[in-house]
Chains A and B, each alone.
Chain A
Amino acid sequence: MDFIAYLISGISLGSVYAIIALGYTMVYGIAKMLNFAHGDVIMIGGYVSFVATANLDLPPAVSIMIAVAVCTTLGIVIEKLAYKPLRAAPSLAVLITAIGVSYFLQNAALLIWSSNPKSYTSLFKFEPLKLLDGELTIASVTIVTVITGVIVMTTLSLIINKTKIGKAMRAVSEDKDAAQLMGIGVNKTITITFAIGSGLAAIAGVLLASAYPILTPTMGAMPGIKAFTAAVFGGIGSIPGAMLGGILLGVIEILGRAYISTQLSDAIVFSVLIIVLLVKPTGLLGKKISEKV
């Protein structure tokens, strides 16, 4: 019974990773950049919803919407100010800029909300689900997270596969220049991608803060790295890969923590990643890259 409980909380944590990883992977696929500031957008999302509920007394649904709106705007602004001028620059320069943005967000949060941890009250207050005569208890946030994960992933898949903007996104990720020649607004597509990714980060921020209710300016860093790992794990640039990678990572982390070692859970996650990459060098669902000679 324990195992099932662990598995469920693993899937729940994995859903959060998957939602973050989707942001990473979409931006990577389209702008070919590692957006290391993505984790910090999660943190901003968490704080904004905290302010909305705790300080402004707004209902949970409104607070989530505000968080999504703020993060989406933030994502667009970051892209326009910091990344757009570097569209033709070497990838390492963009990476360092992203790190600069990450420092900026963390320190801005530090100034606004101070380094004292804020305790977040979960937005999901209904009763935990008790199954099998109370032998299996599933926390409300776990249920909400898993459901949200499913909704987000389905919606995103629909957007990418069925809509015009999704088609544009796929085209840009395949070949930027060719897409441009076909009349696709590359800059607009990249901006939209950032907007979607950042909106997802806000949702992830709310879910993360509800599950681990301590807010600090650096709270996004580790989930960010883990989600990035998840994206690579599944094959960076691949949407289903990010989902699969995220969920597997969450499950491995929780099971590793439960059955092997609490302190080594991160080491286990990263070891699995290394092993997977050695067997499949471009991740589980990644495309094989071959260079033409």
Chain B
Amino acid sequence: MEKMVPVPSRGIIPERDVNSSPILEVSHLGITFGGLVAVDDFNIVIGKTEIAGLIGPNGAGKTTVFNLLTKVYQQTKGAILLDGLDTKGMNTVQVNQTGIARTFQNIRLFSSLSVEDNVKIGLHNQYKYDTLSGILRLPNYWKAEKQSKEKARELLSIFNMEHMAKYKAGSLPYGAQRRLEIVRALATNPKLLLLDEPAAGMNPRETEELMENIRKIRDTFQIAVLLIEHDMSLVMGICEGIAVLNYGKIIAKGTPEEIQSNPEVIEAYLGKQKED
């Protein structure tokens, strides 16, 4: 578990003020689908190395927020600033190159390809050479391939998955598939990592490990993480800031403690859980 990617790690995260150094500033974000308001007046600010959580009952619009941030949908209202840059008019590819990477609620791996190839595809824009060099196997092909292979192994080592490099991605156990998705997203060198229910389907031990790893990823890569999760132990355990979404609107924002004691949240979300 101790093996980590050798990028400069300061060990201790410097004291952050979320508002003075934000990586993501979303203001008045909204989208309507044929008259139905899916997300409305969504405002959130995430610090450069913050781990933030987005929670809310099913159908509250959490994944829609992710889809808006990654431009799967274009917003009908509001603005998204990534590191101060307005992403308006960008497409999914451009947003990724600007610094947002994500995982999916229903796992979306390149399942017929190897684990290593999945990560190498994530490295697509990091180690470049043109198609002709690839077909003719010119020196830059060999160099970039070697680098991307090494980098892929390095990244896989975050989750101790190097030994699975040659396995077919689709044949991995569920938990490993979720971890591979995170590795693949990290490979694109993001500034902000969006995790859509990373602990879904994991057992408590795996979840515990995942929490540890999300923290480590943040510490080593010095990036921000925004995660959607239903597992409250995970959310309350690692998130520094939490936003609660209900019916497409933010109903509360704050630290885990504040959220846990917010009556509106308890009514909309946690209260529901108690009934179960």
A and B touch in the complex (CB under 8 A): yes
**A293 close to B (CB within 8 Å):** yes
In the assembled complex, the CB of A288 is this many whole angstroms from the nearest CB of chain B, namely 11
Identify the closest chain A residue to B72 (Cβ): A293
Count how many pairs of residues, one from A and one from B, have CB atoms less than 8 Å apart in the complex: 4
Interface residues on B, range: under 10
Q: State the CA gap A293–B71 with chains docked (Å).
A: 11
User: Is chain A's binding surface mostly helix, strand, loop or mixed?
Assistant: loop
CB contacts under 8 Å to A, within B48-98, are: 63, 67, 72
Identify the closest chain A residue to B66 (Cβ): A293
**B104 close to A (CB within 8 Å):** yes
Interface residues on A, range: under 10
**What 0/1 pattern do residues 16 to 53 of B give for CB contact below 8 A with A?**
00000000000000000000000000000000000000
Q: State the CA gap A75–B203 with chains docked (Å).
A: 51
CB contacts under 8 Å to B, within A262-293, are: 293
Identify the closest chain B residue to A293 (Cβ): B72
Identify the closest chain A residue to B104 (Cβ): A293
Q: State the CA gap A293–B63 with chains docked (Å).
A: 8
In the assembled complex, the CB of A47 is this many whole angstroms from the nearest CB of chain B, namely 45
Identify the closest chain A residue to B92 (Cβ): A293
Contacts of A293 on B, CB cut-off 8 Å? 63, 67, 72, 104
Q: State the CA gap A109–B248 with chains docked (Å).
A: 63
Identify the closest chain A residue to B73 (Cβ): A293
In the assembled complex, the CB of A287 is this many whole angstroms from the nearest CB of chain B, namely 14
Contacts of B63 on A, CB cut-off 8 Å? 293
Q: State the CA gap A293–B72 with chains docked (Å).
A: 8
**What 0/1 pattern do residues 242 to 262 of B give for CB contact below 8 A with A?**
000000000000000000000
Identify the closest chain B residue to A291 (Cβ): B72
Identify the closest chain A residue to B67 (Cβ): A293
Q: State the CA gap A89–B15 with chains docked (Å).
A: 57
Q: State the CA gap A57–B203 with chains docked (Å).
A: 77
Q: State the CA gap A290–B67 with chains docked (Å).
A: 14
Q: State the CA gap A293–B67 with chains docked (Å).
A: 8
Q: State the CA gap A86–B63 with chains docked (Å).
A: 36
Identify the closest chain A residue to B108 (Cβ): A293
In the assembled complex, the CB of A262 is this many whole angstroms from the nearest CB of chain B, namely 44
Residues of B within 8 A of A (CB): 63, 67, 72, 104
A-B contact pairs, 4 of them (CB 8 A): A293-B63, A293-B67, A293-B72, A293-B104
Query: 4 nearest interchain CB pairs?
Result: A293-B72, A293-B67, A293-B104, A293-B63
